[in-house]
Amino acid sequence: MLFVACLSVAAVAVSAAPLESRAEAIALPLRKHSNVTSINNIVQKGHARISAINGEQAAPATRAVEVSSGTVTNEDVSYVAPVTIGGKTYDLIVDTGCEFFSKRTPETIPTDAERCTASNTWCGAQSACEKSSTGKSTGGSVSVSYGSGSFSGTEYTDTVSFGGLTVSSQSIGSASTASGFSGVDGIFGFGPVGLTQGTVSNANTVPTFLDNLKSQGSISTEVLGVSFKPESGSDTDDANGELTLGGTDSSKYTGTLTYFAKLTSGTASAYWGISIASFTYGSQTLASSASGIVDTGTTLIYIPSSAYSAFLSATGGKTDSSSGLAVFTTKPTANFGIKFGSTTYTLTPAQYLVPTAQYSVFGLTSGKYYAWINDGGSSGVNTIIGQKFLENYYSVYDTTNSRIGFATAA
């Protein structure tokens, strides 16, 4: 599943050494899932996610293991984690960005309280997701609409495990109806907990999986480290990603891990929002002083319309009417850069262009070149740092210290 978003405030960069584990990390794979219908559908899902974001107004303690890792799978357009709920394993999209939740009362009467959130965990898009013998119904209802699909159902709590760690009473949304999901069972939410406010009919907020790990003492700091990697050749299902819970994995990056302050005001501050100093193409500045969100659940990289237009002008490209992607008859040769604070993170043409080996997957035309960079709009949250950027840079989501980190992927 795919999506998008972002907005304002200054980012402060600091260099930091990786968190050290006092216990051996457990490494399990992350699966990448290719639920591709068409590349245009992928682009539009990103746009729908941006629209959803802009609709938003602003257990007993256990031995701390410090850091634990689980493998996730790259399915070309999203990353999927094998999450065990009540003894059954579901393939859930790893999402730090947002889903568009429309709250309903216990009487199922829609209210005006609508929230775009990726903090809830839910299942049942492909097969029944019902509480096990260890589960307990809360009596709450939840309904989600995110532009390109939806789900509605009830809430229960149950035992949830991933990466060698377990939460005994995790909030789960059980979908009775769902649309827009192909080949995946739901969402594994890693957005800020504030986004869960109003998403369940009889609760204010619901703790995330990471919140619960911290509160029960399984991890000592609320940090998520994310390692994504591009697909190899024409592959569309590689277990080449990793989520590290409670810290970072220094084997997944090289050089310095640099942190930037999470936004504290503006629409994007509700998410993993970050201030952007500039976008560049080679030596040309495409735009300055933007804000956005970092979102593992969005496939493409979305930038403000002004920056996107400048990018097309600089590269001799245009927006392809069929795929919705930026398309070029001559291959771009310069690097694309995003600057946070005083640090610029660049993507080479090989990194920001769709690999020709994947053209058949997306129905693209040979002899042309297509970019993962797209138009995020001219107002509201219009920048999303999505999967195709994150496949080249290790990213860290530090709730404890309210910051986001990046380092060059190993």
- Close Cβ partners of 53 (under 8 Å, ≥ 6 residues apart): 4, 5, 6, 98, 116, 267, 268, 271, 293, 380, 381
Would you say residue 365 lies in a domain?
Answer: yes
Q: Which residues pair with 328 in a beta bridge?
A: 369
Of the candidates 57, 58, 43, the one whose C-alpha atom is nearest the C-alpha of residue 4 is 43
C-alpha–C-alpha distance, residues 277 and 8, integer Å: 11
For residue 356, give the DSSP letter: G
Would you say residue 319 lies in a domain?
Answer: yes
Structure tokens at 13: 């960069």
C-alpha–C-alpha distance, residues 313 and 236, integer Å: 32
pLDDT at 148: 57
Would you say residue 3 lies in a domain?
Answer: no
pLDDT at 398: 98
Of the candidates 218, 170, 285, 261, the one whose C-alpha atom is nearest the C-alpha of residue 62 is 218
For residue 349, give the DSSP letter: H
pLDDT at 150: 73
Structure tokens at 118: 């990726």
Would you say residue 272 lies in a domain?
Answer: yes
Q: What tens-digit pLDDT sequence spans the chain (410 residues)?
A: 333 333 333 333 444 444 443 333 444 556 555 555 578 878 887 887 787 777 643 343 344 457 999 999 999 899 999 999 999 999 999 999 864 332 222 222 222 233 445 688 999 999 889 999 999 999 999 876 654 567 789 999 999 999 999 999 999 999 998 887 888 999 999 999 988 887 889 988 899 999 999 999 999 999 999 999 998 888 888 899 999 999 999 999 999 999 999 999 999 999 999 999 999 999 999 999 999 999 998 899 999 999 999 999 999 999 999 999 999 999 999 999 999 999 999 999 999 999 999 999 999 999 999 999 999 999 888 999 999 999 999 999 999 999 999 999 99
DSSP of 226-279: EE--PPPTT---EEEEEEEESS--GGGEEEEEEEEEPP-SSGGGGSSEEEEEEE
pLDDT at 118: 64
* C-beta of residue 6 within 8 angstroms of C-beta of residue 265: no
CATH (domain of 258): 2.40.70.10
Would you say residue 289 lies in a domain?
Answer: yes
Residue corresponding to tokens 């009417």: 321
Of the candidates 273, 301, 308, the one whose C-alpha atom is nearest the C-alpha of residue 388 is 301
DSSP of 195-219: GGTTSSTT-S----HHHHHHHTTS-
Note the pTM of the prediction, 2 decimals.
0.85
Residues of the domain holding 266: 251-409
Catalytic residue numbers?
95, 295
Residue corresponding to tokens 């069972």: 185
SS3 state at 96: coil
Would you say residue 353 lies in a domain?
Answer: yes
- Close Cβ partners of 309 (under 8 Å, ≥ 6 residues apart): none
Would you say residue 373 lies in a domain?
Answer: yes
Would you say residue 173 lies in a domain?
Answer: no
Structure tokens at 170: 């995790």
End-to-end CA distance of the chain: 26
Give the total residue count for the chain.
Answer: 410
pLDDT at 149: 63
For the chain, helix (H) and strand (E) counts, in that order, are 6, 27
Residue corresponding to tokens 């399990």: 28
Number of domains into which the chain is organized: 1
